[in-house]
Structures are given as C-alpha cells and as structure tokens.
Structure 1
Amino acid sequence: MTDLGALVDRTLLVGFEEPDPPEWLRRAAPGLGGVVLYGQNLLVDTDGARLATLLHAESDVVLAVDEEGGDVTRLHYREGSPTPGNYVLGAADDPKLTAGVATRIGVGLREAGIGWNLAPDVDVNSAPENPVIGVRAFGADPDVVSRHTAAWIRALEDTGVAACAKHFPGHGDTRADSHHALPVVECDEAEWRRVHLPPFVAAIEAGVRSVMTAHVVVPALDEVPATMSRRLLTDVLRGELGYRGVVVTDALDMGAIRDGVGEAAGAVAALRAGADALCLGAIGGEGLYRRVRSAILAAVDDGSLPRARLEEAAGRVQELLTAVRSAAPPTAPEPDGWDDPGLAATRRAALVLGDRAAGTALLPGAPLVVELRATPNLAVGEAYWDLAAPLAELGRAPLGVHRLTGDDPRQLTDLLEAVEGVPLVVVGRDVPRHPWQHAAWRAVSERRPDAVLVEIGLPRPDVVTEGQRVFVGGAGRPNLRVAAELLAGYPR
C-alpha cells in the first residue's frame, strides 16, 4: 500500500519565493505533483531552463507555469511575452493563427524543460469591468471563445505539454478579483449554461489534460466556492460532462480562500469535492506546503477525507505526469504562411479593434511617451512592457518616457506645460477601470488634441471616447510592436 504522505505529496503543486530552489523543495520534489514557477523565480528569460536543469538533475519532477501569452507570462516576465494573449487571437478569429501561437508557446516550454502549462484562460469575459480576466480571455462571445479554446489546447498538447482550461465554471462575469476577495457571479443557471459552460465543453472535447477551478461562488449552482463544490466538480464536470483528466485548483493562498476558510481547510474541502491537484502559491512556500500537507493527513486520519478519494486524486495526477514525462520531443512547427503567427494575429486584430489605416502616421516626429502605470492584478504581476523600443525600431525613438502613477495629479499639469509642440503618446492599461487614468487622458486630449492614447488593456471605445486612440488588446511584445506601427504609419 502506498504511503499516505506520498499520496498527499502527489496532489500538491508547490511554489517557492527564492531565485533558486530551497533545500526543503529539492527534498520534496521527487514526490510532488509538480513545482510551479512564478515571476519572482525568473529574473531573466533563461531562468526557466536554468531552474529546470537544477531540479531535473535530482529528479524528474514536472514543472508548471502560467504561460498564457500576452499579459500573463512567466518565462518572459522580465522582457515581455513574444506572443500575444487570447484577446488578440479571438479578435483576429483565425484558429490557424491561434494554433500557431500555442505551438510556439509549447515548443518554448519544452525547450525550457517545463511540461505543464496552466493555460489557456477559457473564460467568457462577459463583464467588461472584470478586473482580473479582460484581455486574458478570447472575448465575450461563447462561440468565439470555444472555437479558439479548442485550437489552442490541441496545438499546445501536440507539443507534449499538458494544457489547463481555466477557470471552471467561469470567471468572466465577475467584478471582484479572487486574488483579493471572493467574487459572486450573479447569473442564473440557464445563462451560465448558454454563456460560460461551452468553452469548457470544447476544452474537454479537445482532450485537455487538466481543468482549473475558480474561486468564485455562483449562487444559482451552489452556495460554496466552485473550488470546494462537489456539485460542480463531481456532479457536473465529472458526471455530466464526462471529464476524466486532472482537476486542479487555482492557488489556494489567494484571498478568496485564504481570507475565508483558509488554505489548509480549503485544500481538504477541494479534495473532498473532487479536485485532484492543489496549487499552492510562492509566498511562504515551505510553511504553506507543510500546513496543507498536515491538514490533509489529519483529515484522512479522522475520516473526514476518505483515503480512497485521495488515492483517486493522486492516481489522476500520476497519469498526467506519466504522459508529460513520456512525451516525444516536439517537432518544428509546420509552415503556416506566417513568419510570426502572433504578430500576424495582432496586426489583423488591430484592424478590427480600431479605425487607423496602415500607412497613416499619427506621429509627425519623435514623441514624448507618457505611461499611466497602475498596479496590475496578481495574475499579471510586474511583467514587463515597453512602447519606446518598438518606436525606436521604426524611427520614432521617444524624446523621453515619463511614468505617472496617479499619486500626484500636478505631475501631469507640469508635464503638459513643458512639452508644448512635442508629439505626445499616452499609454494606459484598462484606462476606463482606473478613474485617475481616464481623468489624465481627458486632461491631455483637451489640451493636446493631437495626442494619441495607446490602450493596451481591454478596448472600451464606448467609455473612453476622447481624442485619438489606438487599441491593441494586450501588453505583449507583438501588441506594442503593432501599436508602434500604427503610430509611425508602418508599413508605408
């Protein structure tokens, strides 16, 4: 009979804070369900491969990351993602381009020694005010989201990397961020089945190896968070939809769980409800790992968590790990007619999202760039983005870059007085959701009608109506490159 502690470890995906794996993690790694790498572990783009080499020198532990492309990147946290995120792919609406992007992500992960990608986000972003999904989703249309969900997952898994459809039963109709609080989704069951369920059906039909739970409550479906809902994880996902892969929780140290039932109790409740793998965050990694592990052992000991349920969960995780470890090396992507499918998709999406024709320059010369920098959500973190470099590549190197955070409104007034006659570009992420950003852009556009806003968040032309605007649907490197092209009138 398998040791009880070994069964518990197999259900755990753990993280760590340090740049290098600490000793406790290296000792535990061989028995774990996986090790999750977060942005703070990756100081340069090559750190993913470096950490994989370190850990794989001692065991065949599977490494996992959130590599969605676009705004959410881990391997390219310090330099920006080389691929666009889902919103651009949905707007371009070419599944072949979507597959090309997912293939490149998968090949990059395999080259870095990473076998489990906690992506794609398959939420239907039906609430434009959503603070945590936005451009991470393929869009607000269930059919579009379902079509690109299937293309993305098939292409990624063809590279030998396990995909993960998230966040079941849907995080797209929320106005709270589950990293900080417990969102409540106020839709009836009929609307949920019509809008939010189809992408998960498409993911299952595409053969997705894992599905991630959402820390949200949908009162029409259950009164407890989905991560701890037997009705959702067992009755619906397993019974109704026939899903046989791994159910993995979103990180249990997120506020929705941490500040409610707590990480340890939440872990036990999630296993009892039907989850198989428990994702733990990086902060306080060892302490979190030991608290959760102890709580599960105690629950089995007192009978509140049947050993058979733990064995089932560990067995499903083991099946996924075996498949990842035995995957054949990925082959080079098939020629698809595009040198860079991500850049092609972003250019195509820009034509859909905006009204700026290629070849019409919005900048007569070198501009001043003003960045409106708000604190990003924790899924994105401090992932890098920059407009100055692609502008310089196109002969519009900025005269300077100024960052505003909203802390001192006088900074903007002083800046506008100092740059009369200089072309002005303002860059913001989700300007409508940040009152200070919207106010800053109104002030700029009133005083400088020639100024241009580059919105790298969710396009909301119905809300931000002032002045000249460019919408590129994300903060990845292709998004900023296309923004620079539109500003510079490229190609001519």
Structure 2
Amino acid sequence: MSPVDVRRLAAGTLMPGFVGTTAPDWLLDAFDDGLAAVCLFGTNLVSWDQLAALCTQLRRRSPHALLSVDEEGGDVTRLHYLAGSNQPGNAVLGRIDDVHVTAAAASAIGMELAAFGINLNLAPDADVNSADENPVIGVRSFGADPVHAARHTVAWVEGLQLAGVAACAKHFPGHGDTHDDSHLALPRVKAPLQTLLERELLPFKAAAMAGVGSIMTSHIVVEALDPANPATFSPIVLQDILRGQLGFKGAVITDALDMVGASGVIGIPAAAVRALAAGADLLCIGSETTARQYQDVLEGVVAAVAEGTLPLARLQDAAARTAKLAGDFPAHSGAAVNSSAAIPAAAEIRSTFDLSATADTWLADPSPAAVVQLETQANFAVGTVPWGPAATGGTVPQESLNPGQKVALVGRGLDADHPVWALAQALRSAGHNTITVECGWPRGGADIVSYGASLAVSTALMELLL
C-alpha cells in the first residue's frame, strides 16, 4: 500500500476538535484527505444560528463524515452550553426510574442533534457511580446500582439511535469507582475482578447487546484487568474483554487524547499509536486541536505503520469500523425541534430530590427566602455551563441579605472542606434560618440534594425554594 493510501487510512481514524466558531481551513482540507470525524465543543458555540452555519459548512465539505458532540443532557451539554441543558440529566432520570422517560429524553436530544446534521453523540455515560466523592462522574451516572444503570443505559441508547444519531456508551470499562479526574491524572481502579464483572462491566455488556453504535474508552488503569496499561492502551481491555467477552461489534472511540491520563507523559502522537494498536478505532484528539497537532498525530500513525509498530491490518480494521459507523448513521438535517414535550415536568424532577427534616421545616416557614449560590469550579467535562439557581437568574449575593431572612445556600461537590459549611454556620449565628443545597452527587450533610445542576433541574429547584 502506498504512503498516500496509508495516510488516508490514518486520517480515517481521527477526530479532532478545533478553536473558533467557523471551521479552519486546515480542518476542511483534512476532510478532502480522508478525515473521519470532527468533534464540536461548547467553545465552538455562540448561538444556534451560528452552530447551524458551522455544521452546514462542515457538511458541505464532507457529507458522510461523523460530526460529533458530548450532549449527555444535564450537567454535560454542548448544544445548551450558553444557558444550561433543558434536560435533567442521568442521575435524575435514574431516580425517576421510568425507562420510557429516559428513552424519550434521549430521543429528544437525538432529534435536536440530527437537525444540525450531527450524527454521533458521545453519550450516554454508562458508569456506575459507586464512589460518592468521584470528581468527574457523579450525576452523569444513572446511579450506583449496576442493574439499574444498565436498564437506563439501554433505554438511552435506544432512544437516541431511534432518532438516527449514533450513541457512544462511556467510559469503558467503568470510571465510576475513581477518586481522580483523568483529565488531570491517571486514576486507578482497585476493585477485584468479580466486582468488576458484576458492577462496572454490566451496563456496557447491556449496551453492546442492545446494538450501541460505539463505546468510549477511559484513561484509567483497572488493576484486575490490566495493571500495566490504561484501558485506552490495553489490548486486554479492548480486544479480549470488550470484543471477546462482551461481543461488542461497533466502533471503539477513545476519550480525548489530550487528557493527562492518556498523553501526559508520552504526548498525543504516541498515545494515538498506542490506542490504535490496542484496538481503538476512532481517536478523539482534543477540543483545541491545531493544524500542527493534527499533522503530528497523522504523521505519527503513518510512521508507526512504516516502522511495524502498528500493523497495517489493525489500521485498516479501525478505519473500516469508523466508516461503517458513519454509514450506519448518515447525517440528516432540518428544522430544530421543540423537545419540551420529552422533558420531565418540574414536579416530577422535584420528586427525585432528597430533603432532610430540616429542609421540610425550612420550606414550611412562610418567611421570604433568599437563594445564595457559591461558585464551584466544575470538571473539564462540564466546562463553564451556567448551573444551579444562578442559571435561572434567581439568586442574590450574600451581602444583600435582609436581617433575619431565611437562606438557602447552594453549591455542588460539597465535601468536608467546602466553604458552604462555614458560611452556613456564620449565617445561622447571624440569625438566618439557613439550609444547604447540593446540586451534585450527595456526599453527606446537605439538607436538599437535587442530583443535578442543569437549567431544567435548577428551575424545578427554585420553584421549591421560593
């Protein structure tokens, strides 16, 4: 095979992001040379009209490529990056526990994406959130019970793919029992093999049996499966387990290779080669890929084939699986849809909240309430999406509180060191009837837990508080 043909095959396994609100020339030229996919992020969005123009620009250059986003609904959103998601997110859907509601939510998301010509959604999150202090999964998960998470993962996959958009169950083989963020470090899962079989792998097995179009790898070391390699670089995890034991036939997509857990030591080009050699088919390069970075990755893959460190047959297989995914889910476009009918009602969302006896007493107090939100930095997957009651415009600064006014203090990730606890004590000492509200996964101590911070959840929360 000629070097040109190998280079085209290599391009058929890559999915870069880019900086800006219009497609750069290097990206459009890469489509002409076989680029398989592009991933859009919240930073590529300033309005839906602009997004529609961007997607049209990309589709005109490459009608058959994969155009992807991370649109989980809930806290992780790209289409609704500017205001917050109109969907409650997985944790709330899991607590509603109606697979028809879950499927409808996913289908509504799929119809929104399809209207822009987006045909691959890097969702749902199929992780079982078994570690309350998990810094990167939390409310992105359907819950801590594996059978429960598997049922809702299947419903979400089927709902999305019914709308003509490929689903991607993530983060294989399971990121729910981690205490580190793989954007910033290389997490390790120490659970025994039997636990992994009964917990982490169950939702992914169910998704594979349901015909999910793709599954995303995680940059974590699962010691009972492969103590030496992160899952993204592990033939044991990707070939022996995912392909062999779980029988997955679709495309294997990597999580972003610019994350520290993947490339922090070896660099993105080397990470790309290792992932392909291990069994990955489509490589997510990162949200701010430059022309130089893209060329470095492309040249690194081509060189690895020439040197024999990446078998040509493996590259051909990866490109073929990626092309099949694009063929199975061709892009469609049309008018943006109104998905409000598929969004759980505010009362249904509120029914999933946890309330302490203190919260019940606070809510029964007829005094006027004020909501104060403490800004809490989100993980990289969430980004800078408006969240919590502040996204509704209903919060006030602490300095504007009236004497004796009752207060709801809102935050997320309320661990023992969070400043919410000291502020709550200070407000109580000053005569304010004060409760604490957790908009994330509960870690203990909060009076109300909403299991999400999306606009949909926050609107329901504000109706409860005020």
Q: Same fold (TM over 0.5)?
A: yes
Give the corresponding residue for 2:44: 41
SS in 2 for 1:319: helix
Distance 2:147 2:137 in 1: 18
Match 1:257 to one of 253, 259, 262: 262
Asked if structure 2 preserves the Cα contact closer than 8 Å seen for 1:87 and 1:139, the reply is yes
Q: Give the match for residue 282 of structure 1.
A: 287
Q: What is the aligned partner in structure 1 of residue 162 from structure 2?
A: 158
1:409 aligned partner? none
Of 320-329 and 449-458, deviating more is 320-329
Q: Distance in 1 between matches of 2:278 and 2:416?
A: 35
1:477 and 2:455 are equivalent in the alignment: yes
CA distances 1:42-69 after superposition (whole Å, capped 9, x unpaired): 1234443221112122221321000001
| Correspondent of 1:427 among 386, 410, 423 | 410
> What is the letter of the counterpart of residue 299 of structure 2?
S
Residue 19 (structure 1) shift: 1.8
In 2, the alpha carbon distance for the partners of 1:16 and 1:387 equals 31
- Matched letter for residue 152 of structure 2: H
Q: 2:435 aligns with which of 449, 452, 463?
A: 452
Report the CA distance between 1:205 and its aligned residue. 1.3
1:464 to 435, 445, 454: 445
Quick check: 1:45–1:76 contact (8 Å CA) kept in 2? no
Q: Distance in 1 between matches of 2:356 and 2:161?
A: 33
Q: 1:169 to 1:389 in 2, by over 3 A?
A: closer
- Alpha-carbon distance in 2 for matches of 1:487, 1:442: 19
- Give the SS at the match of 1:165: strand
Paired residue type of 2:24: P
Deviations along 1:224-283, one digit per CA (max 9) or x if unpaired, are 100000000000111111111000000000011221222111111111110001001122
Could you tell me how far apart the structure 2 residues matched to 1:433 and 1:149 are?
31
- Which residue is 1:437 aligned to? 420
- Alignment partner, residue 141 of structure 1: 145
Seen in structure 2, the aligned counterparts of structure 1 residues 354 and 11 have a Cα distance that, compared at 3 Å, is farther
Equivalents in 1 of 2:302, 2:133: separation in Å? 41
Instruction: Name the aligned partner's letter for residue 225 of structure 1.
Output: P
Conserved? CA contact 1:98–1:152, under 8 Å:
yes
Is 2:116 the counterpart of 1:112? yes
Cα gap change, 1:143/1:329 in structure 2, threshold over 3 Å: closer, same or farther?
A: farther
Residue aligning to 1:292: 297
| Stretch moving more, 107-116 or 305-314 | 107-116
Distance 1:156 1:344 in 2: 25
Measure the CA separation in 1 of the matches of 2:170 and 2:460.
Answer: 28
TM-score, scaled to structure 1? 0.87
The answer to whether the 8 Å contact 2:116/2:334 transfers is no
- Provide the secondary structure at the position in 1 that maps to 2:61: coil
Partner of 1:53: 56
Tell me if 1:372 matches 2:383.
no
Question: For 2:437, what is the secondary structure of its paired residue?
Answer: strand
> Which residue is equivalent to 2:350?
347
Report the counterpart of residue 229 of structure 2 in structure 1. Answer: 224
1:180-191 to structure 2, matched below 5 A, reads: 180-191=184-195
Q: Aligned pair in 2 of structure 1 residues 434, 38: CA closer, same or farther (>3 Å)?
A: farther
SS of match in other structure, 1:64: strand
Matches of 2:8 and 2:195, distance apart in 1? 42
Match of 2:79 among 62, 75, 79: 75
Q: Which runs of 5+ in 2 are unaligned?
A: none
Secondary structure class of the residue paired with 1:313: helix
Contact 2:16 2:289 in 1 (8 A): no
Distance 1:28 1:65 in 2: 19
Post-superposition shift, 1:389? 6.7
**Distance in 2 (alpha carbons) for counterparts of 1:448 and 1:207:** 57
Tell me by how many angstroms 1:474 deviates.
0.8
1:270 aligns with 2:251: no
Q: Which of 14, 32, 44 pairs up with 1:12?
A: 14
The one-letter amino acid of 2:125's match is D
Q: Secondary structure at the match of 2:170?
A: strand
For residues 86 and 389 of structure 1, what CA distance do their matches in structure 2 show?
Answer: 19
> For the Cα contact (< 8 Å) 2:388–2:439, is it kept in 1?
no
Q: How many pairs align?
A: 460
- CA gap of 1:85–1:354, structure 2 versus 1, over 3 A, is farther
* Stretch moving more, 444-453 or 268-277: 444-453
The 8 Å contact of residues 353 and 472 in structure 1, kept in 2 or not, is answered as: no
TM normalised by structure 2 equals 0.92
Residue 207 (1) aligns with residue 185 (2): no
Q: CA deviation at 1:177?
A: 0.3
CA shift for structure 1 position 470: 2.3
SS in 2 for 1:247: strand
Deviation at 1:145, TM superposition (A): 0.4
Partner of 1:408: none
Go from structure 1 to structure 2 and tell me whether the alpha carbon gap of 1:330 and 1:44 turns closer, same or farther (over 3 Å shift). Answer: closer
8 A Cα contact 1:431 1:455, kept in partner: yes
User: Displacement of 1:26 after TM fit?
Assistant: 1.3
Which secondary structure state, in structure 1, belongs to the residue aligned with residue 190 of structure 2?
coil
Partner of 1:405 in structure 2? none
Cα distance in 1, alignment partners of residues 336 and 79 from structure 2: 20
CA separation in 1, counterparts of 2:213 and 2:305? 27
* 8 Å contact from structure 1 (residues 45, 79) kept in 2: no
- 1:245 aligned to which of 246, 250, 262: 250
Please tell me whether the aligned partners of residues 86 and 343 of structure 2 are also in contact (alpha carbons under 8 angstroms): no
Displacement after TM superposition at 1:215 (Å): 0.2
Secondary structure at the aligned position of 1:325 is classed as: coil
Tell me the distance in 2 between the aligned counterparts of 1:45 and 1:422: 40
Please state how far the C-alpha of 1:354 moved relative to its aligned partner: 6.0
> How far apart, CA to CA, are the structure 1 residues paired with 2:266 and 2:278?
14
Structure 1 residues 2-21: Cα deviation after superposition (integer angstroms, max 9, x where no partner): 81111111100110011221
Question: In 2, distance between residues paired with 1:296 and 1:100?
Answer: 40
**Number of the residue aligned with 1:318:** 323
Q: Tell me how far 1:342 sits from its aligned partner.
A: 6.2
